[in-house]
Structure 1
Amino acid sequence: MSKDLVVILTALNLEYQAVRRKLAGAQVHRHERGTLFEVGAVQGTSCRVALGLTNKGNHSAAVIAERAIQEFSPVAVLFVGVAGALWDTARLGDVVMATHVYAYHGGTSEDDGLKSRPRVWETAHGISQLGSHLARVNDWADDTTGHGRTPQVRFGAIAAGEIVQNSTISAEARWIRQHYNDALAIEMEAAGVAQAGHLSGAPVAIIRGISDRADGTKNSAKDRNWQPRAAANAAAFAARLAVELVGEQEKTAMSEEDRTRSADRPKDHVRNTAYNSTVGIMAGSVDGSSVHLHADPKATGATTDLVAELDGFQGLLGRTHAEGVLDDDTYREALVELGLARHAARENAPESIKRATIALKRLRGLVADSPELVTRLAPLVVAAGGRS
């Protein structure tokens, strides 16, 4: 993971420019498949941002988000831009941060009508908490001289589909009101980004400035007035959130480093007093009942141990699937990622270990609904990351 970098994605050039104005020293970074990012630092901070443009739609957003996650291994992915408000819950210029995202076009057509089959992704708890804190502090907004009141941050569901919504009486509007009436805003990319984050194990936040009301009053003249202001407000909140996320990551890294130093202090001996138990230790030598801890894990079969642990995880994965915790599609995708991780771990080269770490992170996202699998997988992700 890049502990000082956050990915920010936008769908429109206007939104892209609003974020770019927050960055200093931006340099072009070209992905091997041709996607261009700009990497710079939030002005006045050490927080780096990789900025990318997805274009409209959930599918395009999902592909670029996945590409960005694999390329940069960021602390988090923020999707930033404008959206339409629903039910007059947010005023023009306000910012909505998603607590969860609905892919509202899911459903099944039956003889008695269309039945909703929603997909939902919740925002990671840590990011939600940090966003709420920034909203309470309320010092993130740019100088709004001449723009009226200070924008407010609101938290709630965001609905993401594949069409521009601009009516309160259309069939689509009635569908949303019937099935997703807690949504504060509507747009066209959040579901794709949320899915990419879920599969990759990367935290995602969706941040939208309200530029219209999605009620039939949307027009070019109003867009020219409100879109830049809404995009600028969303960019300002996102930039501040990115800085705070990197700061939190640095604090966590320092705490882990302190724990590591404590664990690395020499110990005179290790004694096993548990009856009929097994103790596994990476040791340099054993003399009587004393175990001397001075071996290099990389030189004592760490690769074999990781592969063996991954083999064991496959058995647990199969059992969890058989118990019905994982559905068939998730189980198949998890097996693919596990296979990639095992193959890369066997190669034991720096680039291979990096691939193994990425695959394990994606696997962690797939099995997030199973605490047992996540708990078993967490030390394996750390182990692979520590050798990359």
Structure 2
Amino acid sequence: MSNPPLLASSHILLAGSISNATENNLVSRAHEFVAAFVEESLKEGAGFVVYVSSEPINDAGLPMVFDWTVTKAIDRLIPGDADKPRLKIIASEERLSTKCNAEQRRLVATLTARGVAELEYLEEEVLTGGNVGDEQVEHANMMVALGGGKGVSDRARKMTKRLLPVLPLDLQLGANSEDGSGALSLLKDFKTNPLTYMPNSGNRVVKLLPALSLQEPVMSMADISKRIAKIFYEEEKARIDALPPDVLVLTALDVELAAAKRAFGIAEDAEHATTKNGLHVYKAPVTQRNGKTASCVVACFATAGNVDAAVVTSMLLGDLNPANVIMLGIAAGMRDKCALGEVVLAERIVAYEGEAVLEGGKVEARPEITRLNFRVRQDVSDYLSNRTSLETRLTRSYTSLGLDFPEDVDAGPVAKSVMPKQATVASGEKLLRDPDVFKAMRELHGKVEVAEMEAAGLFAACNHFGKPVLMVRGISDFGDSKKDNRFHLLAAMAAAAVTADYIANGMTLQN
């Protein structure tokens, strides 16, 4: 599988201009760099934000701004239709009509018609340099500063206020309006306050600046462009790594952790991160169907039972502050209701251990029943309703994971379908080996089909922290003495496959 582009879904603002007094060789070098940088950025999945109006030129006919250079490079590099816009064009309709020539207007219209560009109009009555900068910053999430004056400094200030990365370069170009030192002033400040411009990686980037010199280049423009793309990628990666995860994926046993690591693409020898409380976690991004990335963290209780589940879950919620929680693993299913390897999504949890001992020694059951969060119920319902696509995806996932159930086993019936189902789950401290005790749990709630030992603690911790939670279980036995130990891993793998697919295709991430 090829690696994803470094700058996928990013939009770069290349802000700058050139003084009429600048030597032509430096002007040419600047445009050579811009063309190379656009090419490299497009390869890595990025787009650009430009403002188009008239294009000032010097006595040699060389452009003094970069917006049309960017636009022409994108037109050359993407000659056909595009599946998504790679250029955001900010313009005044009046100035596009009166300040741009016919060839430039045709270029804008062609790029828009091919889906390569999106055109955003600003009203002429309120058009100012500040408004143009506001609109550009609204669409951009990273910036390169090259020459220019106050306009470049203003855009950089607006970007840094949003904690967005700004990389100033050292080419001595002056400013077309002769109103300040722009990128050079920013570069000087960058060296003193790198985290202002690269909030997550500035201390490292400042050491790389000499290699990025355009004034006295030691590499080709293409190689400098590659390094800049990598700098922006690593800044974005560091930013994402510092964010609370979208999903905390929990397991109780090592066999369940092994299954989760396989389903989420975590190598066996992958190095774990450690939370401040000493808990091991593995990071695993999952690409959702809308193209967004769900940042996931996988962890393990390393023991069974509701007490440990509640304690460890609480510690992880305090350390990581995830937006959502999912637990996956194995469980016992009622013999006449479930099949080995079948996957269930818990619709409610019945904590069956609660009791009152009355006068005379009479015991009265007092179970606690917890339902799923409303938003989770909505997601699960939608997920299970798309049966054809769900079955196709899970069949493909099972195959890629090498998950193949034996057809006939002495322990009992084996799942014939990959389709998961919803079920009510009983949770307590008992490792069930008695089918009569298991069946008696239906007296507490008539829909109980599954029993396990962590859900009550898990849900209690998540409810305390206000976190939406879902539990996914693969059926490994029937709560009696008839076992087939192969289904410990097989059922865990099935649950892990469904969990990964649910995050990718069923879970709604809140902004």
TM range (shorter): 0.5 to 0.7
Which secondary structure state, in structure 1, belongs to the residue aligned with residue 350 of structure 2?
A: strand
TM-score, length-scaled by structure 1: 0.58
Query: Which residue matches 1:40?
Result: 284
Query: Which residue matches 1:28?
Result: 272
Query: Which residue matches 1:6?
Result: 247
* Alignment pair present for 1:66 and 2:310: no
Question: 2-side partners of 1:234 and 1:2: how far apart?
Answer: 27
* Alignment pair present for 1:164 and 2:465: no
Question: 2-side partners of 1:213 and 1:164: how far apart?
Answer: 11
Q: In structure 2, do the counterparts of structure 1 residues 199 and 245 end up closer, same or farther at CA, with 3 Å as the change threshold?
A: farther
Is residue 90–residue 154 contact of structure 1 (8 Å, CA) maintained in 2? no
Query: Which residue matches 2:347?
Result: 99
Deviations 1:271-292 (A, max 9, x none): xxxxxxxxxxxxxxxxxxxxxx
Deviations 1:87-129 (A, max 9, x none): 5211111111111111101011222621111112111122222
Question: 1-side partners of 2:346 and 2:478: how far apart?
Answer: 17
Shift of residue 207 of structure 1?
Answer: 0.7
Is residue 435–residue 478 contact of structure 2 (8 Å, CA) maintained in 1? no
Question: 1-side partners of 2:442 and 2:404: how far apart?
Answer: 35
RMSD (Å) for aligned C-alpha atoms: 2.4
Shift of residue 156 of structure 1?
Answer: 2.2
Question: 2-side partners of 1:146 and 1:116: how far apart?
Answer: 41
Q: Aligned letter for 1:143? A: Y
Higher RCO (C-alpha under 8 Å, 6+ residues apart) = 1
Which secondary structure state, in structure 2, belongs to the residue aligned with residue 150 of structure 1?
A: coil
Query: Which residue matches 2:217?
Result: none
Question: 2-side partners of 1:15 and 1:179: how far apart?
Answer: 29
Question: 1-side partners of 2:372 and 2:262: how far apart?
Answer: 26
Query: Which residue matches 1:177?
Result: 442
Question: 2-side partners of 1:87 and 1:114: how far apart?
Answer: 28
Query: Which structure 1 residue ranges, 5 or more long, are not aligned?
Result: 254-388
Q: Radius of gyration: which is bigger?
A: 2
Question: 1-side partners of 2:263 and 2:286: how far apart?
Answer: 6
Query: Which residue matches 2:466?
Result: 201
Query: Which residue matches 2:54?
Result: none
Aligned length: 244
Deviations 1:104-157 (A, max 9, x none): 010112226211111121111222222232223224422357436332312121
Is residue 264–residue 286 contact of structure 2 (8 Å, CA) maintained in 1? yes
Which secondary structure state, in structure 2, belongs to the residue aligned with residue 32 of structure 1?
A: coil
Deviations 1:4-45 (A, max 9, x none): 520011111111111111234665221222111111223787
Q: In structure 2, do the counterparts of structure 1 residues 115 and 175 end up closer, same or farther at CA, with 3 Å as the change threshold?
A: farther
Question: 2-side partners of 1:202 and 1:69: how far apart?
Answer: 9
State the identity as a percent.
25
Q: Aligned letter for 1:133? A: D
TM-score, length-scaled by structure 2: 0.45
Query: Which residue matches 1:236?
Result: 497
Shift of residue 75 of structure 1?
Answer: 2.1
Q: In structure 2, do the counterparts of structure 1 residues 7 and 151 end up closer, same or farther at CA, with 3 Å as the change threshold?
A: same
Is residue 27–residue 39 contact of structure 1 (8 Å, CA) maintained in 2? no
Question: 1-side partners of 2:476 and 2:345: how far apart?
Answer: 14
Q: In structure 2, do the counterparts of structure 1 residues 146 and 79 end up closer, same or farther at CA, with 3 Å as the change threshold?
A: closer
Query: Which structure 2 residue ranges, 5 or more long, are not aligned?
Result: 1-241, 408-415
* Alignment pair present for 1:121 and 2:370: yes
